[in-house]
Amino acid sequence: MSGQLEVEAARSLLRAAAVRARCDLVFAAAERGETRHFRLVPERLDSAAEHVAAVTRRRYPNLDIPYHSRWRHFAAGGVDRARLVAAGADPAETARARIDLAVVSVLLDAGAGPRWRFREAESGLTLTRSEGLAAASLWAMARGLFSADPQLPWRADAAALARLSAADLAAAFQHGPGNELLGLEGRALLLRRLGEAAALRPDLFGRPARLGALYDYWLPRRAALKADDMLFTLLDAFAAIWPQGMSYANIPLGDCGRHPAVPGDGLVPFHKLMQWLVYSLVEPLTAAGFRIVDLDGLTGLAEYRNGGLFLDCGVLAARDPELPRRPLAPHSEPIVEWRALTVSLLDRLAPHVRERLGKSAAELPLAKLLEGGSWAAGRELAFARRPDGGPPLTIAGDGALF
């Protein structure tokens, strides 16, 4: 393959269609019984669908389901924290500030670990896991942690992010003895790399660079902004921030693994956090007058709540009964296989859940299925089966990918 063709092939992996297509190759191998680590138990899919439908009805009795996004976590405990973001600013600046917050907060949303708690002085609530991370990131921004200008706290500037220390993050997230936040150093490194990457792209983030300048970059396409184009823009800008990310033809691929079921290069992209970031940008952009189209072109999210749903419901079974007890690196073949099967199974779960809820694909797209939905059902099963509510596999995480 020529150099230019290799570059084009690499850049094609920065699209959601590549995530779906390559995960489906792993799924096809599982259907043939050729995967090394997990086998499919397709007759259990109905049970998983019944569980997801029941959780969805309980959480949203009128089936008015919002998109799965970071904004759900900002409302944890019934507190409307989103109203605080750049309060009193004009609509354009509010949108920029909410983009600033969404980008930083999504990238900080790897697993917090079972010991960590965030005690919110303003509400008196004690929050854990994703909800705690969301509240902590919002209050960190409110106090100007990510801004280069102390007088303008509701910003995430490249300069401030690039100099962020682990100690700064520890103070904002109440990390300390007995309240350890998993992967603190990795999170701080990820945000520093985020700031460095944004500074290199004035075409996207302006000068001086600010994450929320994506509002201005996308403004000419506000009448019909494609979700997959948003994903490509984010990956083109940020794929290089992952400390252990892969590259192909010198193109950083971000959240990507390898699996022998994929012929040729073996690459399987997931882009879990960046796809969730796109889902999380829909609301601030829509509120600012944008129309986001083709949202269902994105995939389900390859993370441990959705993946845990399929293991805990028995749709997937480990071939080696000792596998769940072995520490597994995020890019190891068993984890890549599990994540790929999760993406494909979410596509196959969706019609079963829609049938039970009496909804069409247009009425219950993947972004609502996840929220209703598969993520919450996976979390409930995890707490029912394991005291700490952790995933069914032992992931040796670095505080970034998961």
Mean pLDDT on 105-110: 92
Instruction: Please say whether the beta carbons of 334 and 394 come within 8 A.
Output: no
Q: At what angle do helices 91-107 and 129-142 cross, to 10 degrees?
A: 130
- Cα Rg, the chain, nearest whole Å: 20
| DSSP helix, strand, coil percent of the chain (3-state; round to 5) | 55, 10, 35
Which range has the worst mean pLDDT, 139-153, 292-306, 337-351, 385-399?
385-399
Residue 178: pLDDT over 70: yes
Counting every residue written for the chain, the total comes to 402
Specify the pLDDT at position 285.
Answer: 97
| Secondary structure of 210-267 as H, E, C letters | EHHHHHHHHHHHCCCEEHHHHHHHHHHHHHHHCCCCEEECCEEEECEEECCCCCCCCE
Q: Long-range contacts for 122-131 (Cβ within 8 Å, ≥24 apart)?
A: 123/77, 123/79, 125/76, 125/77, 125/79, 127/76, 127/77, 129/389, 130/73, 131/73, 131/76, 131/77
Task: Tell me the pLDDT tens digit for each residue of 275-298.
Answer: 999 999 999 999 999 999 999 999
* Cα–Cα distances in angstroms (integers) from residue 195 to residues 104, 124, 205, in the given order: 10, 32, 10
Which pLDDT band, with edges at 50, 70 and 90, does 118 fall under? Answer: very high
Specify the pLDDT at position 210.
Answer: 98
Mean pLDDT on 139-165: 97
Specify the pLDDT at position 322.
Answer: 95
pTM of the model: 0.94
Pairing of strands 126-127, 118-119: antiparallel
Share of the chain above pLDDT 90, in %: 89
Of residues 239 and 20, more confidently modeled: 20
Which pLDDT band, with edges at 50, 70 and 90, does 2 fall under? Answer: low
Residue 401: pLDDT over 80: no
Which pLDDT band, with edges at 50, 70 and 90, does 100 fall under? Answer: very high
Specify the pLDDT at position 402.
Answer: 53
Which range has the worst mean pLDDT, 40-54, 104-118, 214-228, 334-348?
104-118
Q: In which residue are the tokens 């699209």 written?
A: 15
Q: Which amino acid, one-letter code, is at 385?
A: R
Specify the pLDDT at position 396.
Answer: 83
**Virtual CA dihedral for 391, 268, 300, 46, nearest 10 degrees?**
-70
How many other C-beta atoms can be found within 10 angstroms of the C-beta atom of residue 124?
8
Pairing of strands 246-248, 251-254: antiparallel
Q: Give the separation between CA 204 and CA 212, rounded to whole angstroms.
A: 10
Which pLDDT band, with edges at 50, 70 and 90, does 73 fall under? Answer: very high
Share of the chain above pLDDT 70, in %: 98
Residue 220: pLDDT over 80: yes
Mean pLDDT on 345-369: 97
Is the sign of the CA dihedral 103, 110, 54, 78 positive or negative? negative
Q: Give the separation between CA 235 and CA 255, rounded to whole angstroms.
A: 9
Characterise 291 by phi-psi region: left (phi > 0), alpha (psi -120 to 50), beta (else).
beta
Alpha helix ranges (H) inside 62-183? 70-74, 91-107, 129-142, 158-162, 166-172
Task: Tell me the pLDDT tens digit for each residue of 121-135.
Answer: 999 999 999 999 999
Token readout for 107 is 């990238």
Instruction: Please say whether the beta carbons of 164 and 137 come within 8 A.
Output: no
